[in-house]
Structure 1
Amino acid sequence: MDTLGKRIAKARIAKGLSQGQLAELLHWSGQSRVGNYERDQREPTLEDINRIASIVGVSAKELIFGPDANDNQTVIQVTSSNDSYVYVAMTKPRQTQKGIDLQPISLPPLAIAKDQKAGLNEHTRGLAALSAPIDDGMSPYISPGDVIVVDTSDTEPEDGGIYLIALNGKCLIRKLYTSADSIILRSFTHPDKAILEHDRSQLQIMGKVAYRAG
């Protein structure tokens, strides 16, 4: 199985570096940290991935997703079980041929205290952090510029759930409700909008909002 650790090791070897040499270039004391990462015994933070990538000459995205990173639409957060925080990779919506994709960007990850959000821990997968879209639909609870965390694995609308969606290519945050023949988009500042079944292709549910950091 191709893992993050194996990709780090492969990139290091291709660069002609030993674990000790890579650790020295990273100004780490000893090679044990590199070894733990490569054996997948410890998950690196996004900051460490960015630093390793710059030295071994590949992109951080390729280390995280593999050589087919440009075709991979799965968002992965980088977390650590060694402290009291979960680190979620920052992303940005980008238009692709298949719709809007949340793609990692070169910013420090969002750190969320585990005791601040019940059920959120280093085993949680499918999270992506991003700046809330420029839209006042959920103000004052979610405002443009707030950082939100979206669970991209949760795309089945639950009545009253708050979701990041794309409607005709524009990102919005809305409460969703379902009826027999439509999905209803509800906000605090705009009239309800019903997306009928035959118009369903206009709507992309990107994930449920799991956390907001103002």
Structure 2
Amino acid sequence: MKKTIGSRIAFYRRLRKMSQAQLAEACGWASQSRIGNYERDTREPSVDDVMAMAGVLKISPAVLLGFDSDYTSLTAVHGRDIRTEFDSNVEVALQPTRSFLYPEISWVQAGSAMEAVDLSNVAAAPRHSSDVWAGENGFWLRVVGASMTNPAGANSFPEGSLILVAPDIEPRHGQYVVARMIDSNEATFKQLVSDAGDLYLKPLNPLFPMKAVDNTWEIVGTVVDGKMPKSIFL
């Protein structure tokens, strides 16, 4: 367990791949300096601020405050007995009330790099919600084809699935990405894997080939959330 509330805020913020500014904006605060002060432990957050940050970071407020999971050591904070607030907040952690709307764009737009999320291009696009922060330029794509359908069933993205792409998040080995061919603007959804120092775009369906990431490719963004097609649940 991190020793101070500031170190815990910083830890879970980085775990969610959010900057201080992004966390502040998601909490509805005008400046990131509040987050900076909290993380440096130069300012003690109020209970309401703890609950706001916990909601965005998808954890229990008790975790940020360093209490045991059974709350046996939980006592009054800032003059308030918040055991009942934390108990009720367990449900909030499972069903976050804070969500973000992002446009669903076309694969043609996704292949157009920076123009993909231009407001003039997506004004009429359908929007879908997510409790995951994908940045100001985040967008949804609908999966086409069977290259990311895993025959084994695990970690599969069948045709019709929605994926949320965060253009500002740098991908790591094993994460899912959308990449585009620079010359043709053709976009594709694959898993980014590293082997002997080289990067590859790997399909989950073994019937499709793996492609090396060379100077003809550009990573558009990292996939941070997904929704299965409704037909799966019918």
TM range (shorter): 0.3 to 0.5
Greater fraction of residues in helix: 2
Task: Tell which structure's C-alpha radius of gyration is larger.
Answer: 2
**TM-score (structure 1 length as normaliser):** 0.47
**TM-score (structure 2 length as normaliser):** 0.43
